Amino acid sequence: MSKIVIKNLKKSFGNNKIINNFNIDINDGEFIVLVGPSGCGKSTLLRMISGLESVDQGEIFLDQKLINNLIPSKREIAMVFQSYALYPHMNVFENLSFGLKMEKIPKSEINQKVNNAATILQIKDLLERKPKQLSGGQRQRVAIGRAITRNPKVFLFDEPLSNLDAALRSEMRVEISKLHKKLQSNIIYVTHDQIEAMTLADKIVVLNKGNIEQYGTPNEIYSDPNNIFVAEFIGSPKMNIIKINKKQIINSNTLQLFNNKITFENFEFNDEIFIGIRPEDISIKNNHEIQVDVKIDLIENLGFEKIIYTKLLENQIIIKSSENINEQSLTISFSKDKVLFFDKNNNRIR
């Protein structure tokens, strides 16, 4: 197990800033997931840690050792790519052992490492097959196995499941989680899939335009977002955000929310704000203090759950419910304790 410290990391391509003053401490054995929209710098950051991309400014430490100028093979870091990156003319055993052979490791040790990785990943019966004879999930296991044989201090995963279908992604998420518990190694994992982030991570880094918007546990990121960007990015469907103008502020702690005058004892409102409410916190039963009538635009039937898209004036309000809906309009309700507040700059009011 190892500790990773990244200080003031910066990266630009021309005038385009990709990573802007990135700072993070990753403790022994932690599973860290980097999430954010396309182009936010997730993969670039991973490539800088691995040594595949140069660093403009800043420092990367592994066990208090500065590794900025070390070549990738000397960093004790293994990377698993989205594309698997297997040699098509080699069988699984040869793919798993290739890096070890390049390091001139004795044959007996190579056999031991390969068989150990194959046992962990349950691919021992695939060792004689070529990549073209493997399914996507099997290829990804081989790619992970190749990383395991190097016995690295840190594993880097760059969207490793994005090429798999939904069922395989679910299966591989479980396998990666088991692998982390078994190896107890540091893992830094890049994904755009928030289900992967929430289910795999010890801590999540939410990136936006090269900046850390929030760093915390999955529960902290979900329940206590720093700003509207995080609130909308984490959660499916995304959080409902509704603008409250000055006319709706009755006094310093009372708001006119649709047809409801609601007092929030621990807040003070002086300017226009935004309120946030998650779809799963809205009920189609009148069992909460904030109630409002809405018109239904669309219902997505997911089996046990329904995603209900409704319209209220200029606002779209999304509801997640297991109730059967047959009407064209609804009275929905939610508790004031579930309402989050954001200022006009999109930052959380606490």
pLDDT in tens, 233-258: 999 899 999 999 999 999 988 999 88
Q: Clarify whether residues 213 and 290 are in a common domain.
A: no
pLDDT in tens, 319-339: 999 988 888 888 999 999 999
The whole-angstrom separation of Cα 68 and Cα 21 is 16
Among 233, 261, 285, the domain-final residue is 233
Q: Clarify whether residues 36 and 131 are in a common domain.
A: yes
pLDDT in tens, 33-75: 999 998 899 999 999 999 999 999 999 999 999 999 999 989 9
Among 202, 233, 264, the domain-final residue is 233
Q: Clarify whether residues 257 and 120 are in a common domain.
A: no
The whole-angstrom separation of Cα 167 and Cα 174 is 11
CATH number of the structural domain spanning residue 140: 3.40.50.300
What does pLDDT average to over the chain? 92
Strand residues in 50-121 grouped as ranges (E): 57-62, 65-66, 77-80
Collect all residues with Cβ–Cβ distance below 8 Å to 243 and sequence separation of at least 6.
272, 273, 274
Q: Clarify whether residues 287 and 149 are in a common domain.
A: no
Domain count for the chain: 2
CATH number of the structural domain spanning residue 343: 2.40.50.140
Q: Clarify whether residues 123 and 248 are in a common domain.
A: no
The whole-angstrom separation of Cα 304 and Cα 272 is 38
The tally of CA atoms less than 13 A away on the side-chain side of residue 58 is 22
Q: Which domain holds residue 296?
A: 240-349
For the whole model, what pTM was predicted?
0.90
Q: Clarify whether residues 214 and 274 are in a common domain.
A: no
Q: Clarify whether residues 150 and 74 are in a common domain.
A: yes
The whole-angstrom separation of Cα 25 and Cα 336 is 36
How, if at all, do strands 240-244 and 273-277 pair?
antiparallel
Q: Token pair of 264, please? A: 């929030």
Residue 1 — very low, low, confident or very high, per pLDDT cuts 50/70/90?
Answer: low
Q: Clarify whether residues 135 and 193 are in a common domain.
A: yes
Q: Clarify whether residues 190 and 311 are in a common domain.
A: no
Q: Clarify whether residues 227 and 326 are in a common domain.
A: no
Q: Clarify whether residues 48 and 188 are in a common domain.
A: yes
What percent of the chain has pLDDT above 70?
100
Q: What is the DSSP code (8-state) at residue 239? A: P
Q: Letter for the amino acid at 178?
A: K
Q: Clarify whether residues 42 and 161 are in a common domain.
A: yes
pLDDT in tens, 265-294: 888 888 899 999 999 999 998 788 899 999
Is 154's pLDDT higher than 70?
A: yes
Among 233, 258, 287, the domain-final residue is 233
